[in-house]
Amino acid sequence: DVKTAIEDYKSPFTRVKVQLNPQKLGDVDLTIVQRGKNLHISLSSNSTAINTLSMNANELRTQLTNNGINNASLNFNSQDSSHSSAGQQEQHRQQQQADKEYSHFNNEEVNEEILSSLEIVVPNYA
């Protein structure tokens, strides 16, 4: 499982790749790389799976904390922009949610951002 892969990730390994196949999400590719003192966990999958993770980001963060992975940051990346800040992404996600909730007041089509990956950064993992 993912927790075991993270716990077993120690030098001299520089990269660990795992392919998961959760029944309701489809194939998920997971790559673990250490950069400096931080551990970067990249998940790539279909947009439905990444959007599901995005909609449940608070629960995911809680599950990470419950499993000993504290202060992790979640960075969701779209196909258009692979590097934007977590704060900007959260603000954008909240705006999209508000747009969806109030879309019945106007007939304009809401353009949804297609998420393609998630990067979890675990700080000071040494």
Query: What does each of the 126 residues of the chain score in pLDDT, given as a tens digit?
Result: 666 766 666 665 567 777 777 787 788 888 888 888 888 999 998 888 889 889 999 999 999 999 888 899 999 988 754 444 454 455 555 555 555 544 444 444 444 568 889 999 988 876
pTM over 0.85: no
> Is the distance from CB of 78 to CB of 116 less than 8 angstroms?
yes
Its sign, for the CA torsion 50, 78, 73, 31, is: positive
CA 42 to chain centre: 7
Closest CA to 31 of 69, 5, 66: 5
Q: What is the domain partition of the chain in residue ranges?
A: 2-122
Tokens of 52: 């599901």
Other C-beta atoms lying within 10 Å of the C-beta of residue 16: 15
